[in-house]
Each structure stands twice: as structure tokens, then as C-alpha cells.
Amino acid sequence: MRLLLSTTLVLGLGLSLAGCKTSAERAEEYYRSGLELLEQGDVDRAIVQFRNVFDIEGTHYEARKTLAETYRNRGDAGQAYSQYLRLAEQYPDDLAVRVALARLAFEGQQPDEFVRHATRATEIAPQDPDVQVLDLARRYRDATLAEDNGERAKLGEEAARMAAERADDPLLMGILLDRAAGSGDMEEADRLTARLLELQPDNPQRYMQRLALLAEREDKPAIEAHLRATIAKFPENTQAKADLVRFYMSEDQPDRAEAFLRELAAAAPADDPAPRADLVRFVEMQRGAQAAQAELDRIIAEGGDPLLFRTLRAGFDFQEGKRDEAIAEIRTVLEGVTEPGDTSRDVKVQLARMLVETGDEAGARAQVDEVLAQNASHPGALKLKAAWQIGEDKVDDAVLSLRAVLDQSPDDAEAMSLMADAYDRAGEPDLARDYLSQAAAASNNAAPETLRLVARLASEERWRPAEDAILPALRGAPDNLQLLQALGQVYLSMPDLPRAEGVITRLREIGTEEAVATAERLDLNRLASQEGEAAALGHLEQQANAADADIATKLSLIRAQLATGQNAAALTLAGDMVTAEPGSRPARMALALAQAANDNLPGAKTIFQSLIEEQPSDLPPHLALIRLASQEGDMDGALALTEQALAAIPDDPDLLWSKAGLIERKGDVDGAIAIYEQLYARDSSSVIVANNLASLLATWKSDDPAALSRASAVARRLKDTDVPAFMDTYGWIQHLNGDSAVALPYLEGAAASLTGDPVVQLHLGVVQEAVGKTEAAKAQLQKGFEMLPEGQEGRSITAAREAQARLDNPAAAQGTVAEGGTGAPEQAAN
């Protein structure tokens, strides 16, 4: 029995050993199975079997290579490249793998990868014919980048010789195509693009090359047919669809463009609303909001997604001023959502944007919080949150929010614009400019993003980059008046007067009232630049004296006359205007301003008062009266007029600004700070408000850590400023924060420009003492105290007196240190 048992165990063990295969054998079985499936045409299952190989044996060369070739043959270049790259890591000297990687990189427009693999292939086997083609393509690319036309021509001839034996090599054909296009040989270019398309019918780049050739030949029937063929081949290619719509529009065939969009909308699955939404936007663009609303009504009636299309419908109501109705409609739509998803979250963000516009920021924040609670990385919600964070000077938090957006959508122009705002707040102008440039590019040079970039470049007097930014935007919107005006101003500033005249001519050709007015403004600037202010003023007088001159032209002349000191002429013209139109408020306002300029203050005040009595909510006469009182030194009267104006126009920012300045001069610093805080809460993007708030906090509240922290956050944007008042604010805050060395050049610049401001002079003296410039500090502090009005006090002035005392009695200052004091001038200034 024991013998039988032993025999059974031995037999069982033998059977187990016989039935157990090694991992290499199992991997080989999967590989063979994959090959069989490939022969049968079952590619998907073959791929599964090859991948099973790698679960067992990750370095199986043949399986990996076959899988890479399989992906390449079916047109999946990304997967093919990935598999070949794994082989290159495992077998770095495999020539076939390097050649395959180089060609895939070339076709995928990855130049750095192409150079890397082509170079390695050349090192492995420089005489190999395939490698020589790669090397030729690499050298041709280098010559193109270097703009070495002689070398390019030489390499093009070499490519032609190689092509005699390798007529269908795509790399060589690409070089020959470039050569044909450069020489204008359209027949050869036609042959090459057609053949490349035959050889690689699954390569989108070949379709783009063919389209470029057809566009160059202006073969419009062929362009349309080719675009339709591209769409049929690549149904997900949104670029080709957009190109076809643009083609129809360029041919003035909006009906055909709309018909094509209707085709796409009809063919789209029910769960893909994008084509219908595209159709609605096109109808709005071509036939207006009412037609788009009718289209939405039809889509909704036919069962279109109510969450999306009713929200779009509400958006039109919102634009038409039916704000409450639109918001109520969206809330109703959201109430019907039982399972939150991406679409409902997008709608909530849209609702939040509407609430922001209506002033309900609390409601908007609640919507955004709900969205982020469901999806912490929702781009729309994060952008709104970042905008609020920027407004609250939480710049670092805003940058983190926006990076999360850009990680998901690298081409989000709105996120890039917000990132520029954030870096502006952080005092990083170079980064801000870079993001403005990226935003313009990501928006396809849309006017709003382009104009923001141009404004920044113009502020830095970088005229050539500004021109480079505007021209692509104008190609997309050739009649955009803001872009044309910006381009005209750039040319005037360069100066490039002939091209400025070209812009002026274009504006006059457009012919609308606004375009002609813009052209006139630019033309006046051109005249002033070319022939002087007298010539520009003469031109304006000629226009104002014409029989058909309107009041706007005459007012422009009066403003110019007052600006150039021709006060009597301005008074005469304004008087004539009032005589002709006694009831005209603009003419009476101009007359009052001219009387004030001619020292007839009682007459001016009488007119301003009558204008206010007739229309209390009209701001300009209020401001003019306040300005006159201030100029006369009547601060109490100016403040009384400001309060009177605020009673008629509550919370007006200009009036609040006036009040803040007046009460600050009267010594009510806390009241001025409160007003600036109010203005800052309403518009924290105002650099002037930010400076004034930070300056008051730093100058008068520097002993309050919370106030100093607030001033530091608000003033971050002033870094690298060259505006004297801003330099004083930023420099003094840096000193208060313990960095007097950084503060010094700012305060030197401020003191050199603001020579009549005693506090600025004292700031410089305090900082000079802090960095050890003893003699300069003594003289500077003395200068500041001599200028200081009697009785004026404050923390900055106290700090200056303490610094002067240390300079006058250094032994006492040293004694303070010996007794345990800090002895640090920066601390004393606090």
C-alpha cells in the first residue's frame, strides 16, 4: 500500500511537471496566437494577444516590434511611436527601430525627436541607404532653419538623385515638395501632394499639404471637394469642418455654410449637442439674435437637451436685458437635474457669471462652491474663483487655481489672461506680458486678447512687437475699428507716417460714423507729429468752421484751444455756440470751462450751478465746481460741494476719490483710508487706487502689523515701477518690511522727481540712514524737515525724527543696543 501510494505521488508529480509551461513558453504562445490573428485580419484581438506577451515577458523583442508595426499600419502613429520607443530603450543600437522612430517623428512634426533618432541611426550605420535619407532630411532641416538657401538647393539636388531610386520615399518627397513650392513649380507640387496622399491616405498632414497647394492654385471647386473628402476620412477633424465653413464664407456663400452646419447637426448623435450649438452660433452671427432664438426654439421642440439649449436661450434673454427672467429660467432648468454631471456644472458656472454681472457676487460664489464641491478641477469654476482671488490680492492662490485649469486645457485663452492679471498683481510684468502673448495666440488672435497685449506693449514703447501682434488679428477681422485704431497709433508712435496714412485711408473707406471719427483723430495726431501742433490745430479750426460742422467737432477744437493756451479763442467759439443753441448743455459746459480758463470764475460757477440744478445727476459740472474751489484753496468749500454731489450721485467713484483727497488734506487719514478701501473693493485693478491705499497705510499706519501686511499685499504690483509716486509707496513699504537696500533706489527716484513733497524726501533720508549712508541721510532729513508744514505729524515723520536723533547722537543709539534694544534702523522706522 505504501509502495502504491509512493508510485501515485511520483506519477502525480510527473504529470504536474509535464503540464506546467515556463513563462517563456506561455509568452511565445501568446505571440504566435497574435500572429495567427493578424493573418486572419483580426487586428484588435491580435493586439490584445501581443499585450498579453508583455504581462509575462516585457522584453519580448519580436512581439513588441510586431505590435509597433501593427499600430503603424493601422495609422495609429502615437501608439506605434510609444512601442518603438520602448524597443529603443531596451535595444538602443537596433537600427530598424531608430529608423522607424525617426520617420514617425518626422511625420508627426516632432523635430527634436527626429533629430535625436536620426543622429543615433547615423552613428550606428552611416552607410545604410535608409539612414542616408534620414541624414539628408536632417541636414536639409538645419539649412532651412539657418536660412542657408545655397545649402538647401544643394541638398535638394541630392534628394532628387536619391529619389531616382526611391521614388516613393515620403521623406525625399517632402524635400522635393518644399523645393517645388519654393520655385513655384505648381505642376510638380501637384504631382507630389497627390502621390503622398495615395501613399499615406491615413496621414492628416498629407491632406493639409494638398489643401495648401489647392489654395495656392485658387482651385476653388477642388478646395471644396478636398475639404469634404477630408471630413469624410476624418469625421472628428473639427479643423477641416471649420475650414469648409470659412471657405464658403470667403466665397460669400453663407447659405451653403449654414446648410453644411445643418448637415452636421442632423447627423450628430442625440448625446452630442455641439453641432447644434455651432449651428445656433452661426445663425446668430449671420442673421442676428432673433433668428438664433427661433433656431433654439426649434431644437428644444425637437427634443434637444433642455439643460443646454434652454440655457442658451436664457443667455439671449439676458443679453436683451431680461436678466431676472433669464436667471429664473436657468434655475428652473437646474431644478430638473437629478444626477449632476459636466453639463449641469457648466450651466451652474454660466449662472454664476450672470449673477456676477447683476452684482450678486454672494450668489455667484455659492454656485461656484457647489460646482467645486462636486468637481474640484472644474475649469470654469476655477477661473471664476481665480478672478475673485486676484481681486482679493490672493495672488499665489489664484496662480494655483489657474495652473490647474491650464493643466487640463493648455490653450485656454481666458485662463491665460487671468494669469496675466495675477502676475501683474504680483509685480511680475515680464510674466504678465508673456501670458498676454500666449492668450492672444490661443484665442487665434481675437481682438480682445490682442488689444490687451498691444496696450501692454505700447505702454513699454515696444512698437514693432505691437505691430506684429495686431496684423494677424486684422487678417481675421479686417474691419475691426479698435484694431485699426491701435495699428494707426502704433505707426504714429514708431513713427511710420506713410503706413499710418494707409490705416487712416482704410478707416475712411469703411465709412461708418465711428470709423470716420477714428480716422480724423488719427489724422490730427499725424498732422501734429508731421507738421506740428499749429498745423493740427489749423486743420481742426478748418473743420469746425465748415458749414456742416457738428457740435462734436467744435467741442474738439475748444478742448484743443484750451490745452494749447488759446483761451480767448476758445471763449469766443464757445460763446458763439451758446448763442446759436442756448439750450445745449455741452455748449454751455464748454463756455463755463472757457470762462474759468479766462479767469471769469463767477461766470463759470453760475453756469455750472445752473447745469447742476437742471440735471443733478450730471457729474461733469459737479467735478468742475469742486476743482475750482480746490484751485482757490477753499478746501472746506470743495468738500461741501463734494458732499452735495454725492447726495445727488451716491457712491460715484470720481466723487469718492475727490472726497478722499480732500479729507486726507484736512487730516482725516482714517476716513480717507476707508474711502480708498471702498473704491478698492469695487475695482481692485485700479493701480492708482491701490497706490493711494497702500501709501496711506504705510505712511500713517506703519505701527499696525495688519495695516502694513495689507499695504504690502496691495503694493506688490508696483514692483519695477518708474512712476515717482508709486516708487515712493513701494520703496517705503520695502523698508518697513526690513529690506532697506531694495527700497533705496525706489526712494532715490521718487525724491528726485517729487522734489516738493516733504514726506517723500524724509522717506529717502530714513532709508539712507538705515543702509549706513550717514552724511547723505543727515542732509536729506534736514531738507525734508525744512519743507514740512508746521504741525504736520505721522508715523513716517516720527520715524524721520528718530533717524535724525540717531544720527545726531550715535553714542546714545549704541547705548540702546547695549541695553538690549535691536538697534536696527528698520525696526525703529516701524
Domain residue ranges in the chain: 683-830
Binned at pLDDT 50, 70 and 90, residue 820 comes out as very low
Q: Where are the alpha helices (DSSP H) in 392-496?
A: 395-408, 413-425, 429-442, 447-459, 463-476, 481-493
Q: Which CATH class is domain 683-830?
A: mainly alpha
Q: Scanning the structure block, which residue is given the C-alpha cell 492708482?
A: 688
Is pLDDT of 607 > 80?
yes
pLDDT of res. 38: 86
Q: Residue 94 corresponds to which amino acid?
A: D
For residues 732 and 725, what is the distance between their CA atoms, to the nearest angstrom? 11
622 DSSP 8-state letter = H
For residues 740 and 719, what is the distance between their CA atoms, to the nearest angstrom? 14
Is pLDDT of 164 > 60?
yes
95, 35, 32: which is closest to 70 by C-alpha?
35
pLDDT of res. 691: 93
pLDDT of res. 545: 65
Binned at pLDDT 50, 70 and 90, residue 542 comes out as low
Q: What is the pLDDT of residues 344-366, one digit of tens each?
A: 999 999 999 999 999 999 999 99
Break the chain down into helix, strand, coil percent, rounded to 5. 80, 0, 20
Is pLDDT of 20 > 80?
no
6 DSSP 8-state letter = H
Instruction: Supply the pTM of this predicted model.
Output: 0.71
What phi and psi values does residue 288 have, to the nearest 5 degrees? 95, 175
Contact call for residues 562 and 594 (beta carbons, < 8 A): yes
Sign of CA dihedral 312, 317, 319, 324: negative
Binned at pLDDT 50, 70 and 90, residue 760 comes out as very high
Q: Over range 488-507, report the average pLDDT.
A: 90
For residues 417 and 646, what is the distance between their CA atoms, to the nearest angstrom? 35
Which range (86-90, 673-677, 706-710) has the least confidence? 86-90
For residues 310 and 425, what is the distance between their CA atoms, to the nearest angstrom? 38
pLDDT of res. 766: 94
In terms of residues, how long is the chain?
Answer: 830
pLDDT of res. 302: 86
pLDDT of res. 549: 62
Average pLDDT, the chain: 86
pLDDT of res. 827: 34
What's the distance, Cα to Cα, between the start and end of the chain in Å? Answer: 102
Query: Among residues of the chain, what percentage have pLDDT more than 90?
Result: 43
Is pLDDT of 830 > 60?
no
Q: Over range 511-537, report the average pLDDT.
A: 75
Three-state DSSP at 374 gives helix
Q: Scanning the structure block, which residue is given the C-alpha cell 474738439?
A: 556
Q: Residue 568 corresponds to which amino acid?
A: A
Is pLDDT of 777 > 90?
yes
Contact call for residues 516 and 507 (beta carbons, < 8 A): yes
Binned at pLDDT 50, 70 and 90, residue 747 comes out as very high
C-alpha cell read off for 649 = 450721485
Contact call for residues 713 and 698 (beta carbons, < 8 A): no
pLDDT of res. 530: 60
Q: Over range 16-30, report the average pLDDT.
A: 68
Contact call for residues 817 and 823 (beta carbons, < 8 A): yes
Most confident of 151-160, 543-552, 625-634, 728-737: 728-737
Contact call for residues 177 and 159 (beta carbons, < 8 A): no
Is pLDDT of 2 > 70?
no
Contact call for residues 772 and 756 (beta carbons, < 8 A): no
Binned at pLDDT 50, 70 and 90, residue 6 comes out as very low
Is pLDDT of 1 > 80?
no
pLDDT of res. 541: 64
Q: Over range 44-64, report the average pLDDT.
A: 86
224, 263, 265: which is closest to 243 by C-alpha?
224
pLDDT of res. 168: 86
For residues 650 and 652, what is the distance between their CA atoms, to the nearest angstrom? 6
Is pLDDT of 513 > 90?
no
Q: Over range 458-466, report the average pLDDT.
A: 91
Which range (265-279, 371-385, 411-425, 769-783) has the least confidence? 265-279
Radius of gyration from C-alpha coordinates of the chain: 37
C-alpha cell read off for 69 = 508595426
Q: Over range 737-766, report the average pLDDT.
A: 94
219, 218, 140, 220: which is closest to 182 by C-alpha?
140
789 DSSP 8-state letter = P
Which range (414-423, 525-534, 792-801) has the least confidence? 525-534
Kindly report the number of other CB atoms within 10 A of residue 86's CB atom. 17
CA 255 to chain centre: 34
Is pLDDT of 818 > 50?
no
Residue 93, CA atoms < 13 Å, CB-side half-sphere: 3
Burial of residue 337 (CB within 10 Å: 0-12, 13-18, 19+) is middle
pLDDT of res. 573: 85
pLDDT of res. 246: 86
For residues 545 and 555, what is the distance between their CA atoms, to the nearest angstrom? 12
Binned at pLDDT 50, 70 and 90, residue 141 comes out as confident
pLDDT of res. 236: 81
Q: What is the DSSP string of 692-737?
A: HHHHHHHHH-TT-HHHHHHHHHHHGGGTT---HHHHHHHHHHHHHT
C-alpha cell read off for 70 = 501593427
- Helix axis angle for 170-183 and 186-199, nearest 10°, is 160
Is pLDDT of 535 > 70?
no
Binned at pLDDT 50, 70 and 90, residue 15 comes out as very low
Residue 764, CA atoms < 13 Å, CB-side half-sphere: 29
Q: Over range 534-546, report the average pLDDT.
A: 63
* Non-local CB neighbours of 194 within 8 Å, separated by 6+ positions: 210
Sign of CA dihedral 330, 333, 338, 341: negative
For residues 70 and 81, what is the distance between their CA atoms, to the nearest angstrom? 11
pLDDT of res. 613: 93
pLDDT of res. 546: 61
- Helix axis angle for 669-682 and 687-700, nearest 10°, is 150
Binned at pLDDT 50, 70 and 90, residue 14 comes out as very low
Contact call for residues 780 and 768 (beta carbons, < 8 A): yes
pLDDT of res. 27: 81
C-alpha cell read off for 223 = 478646395
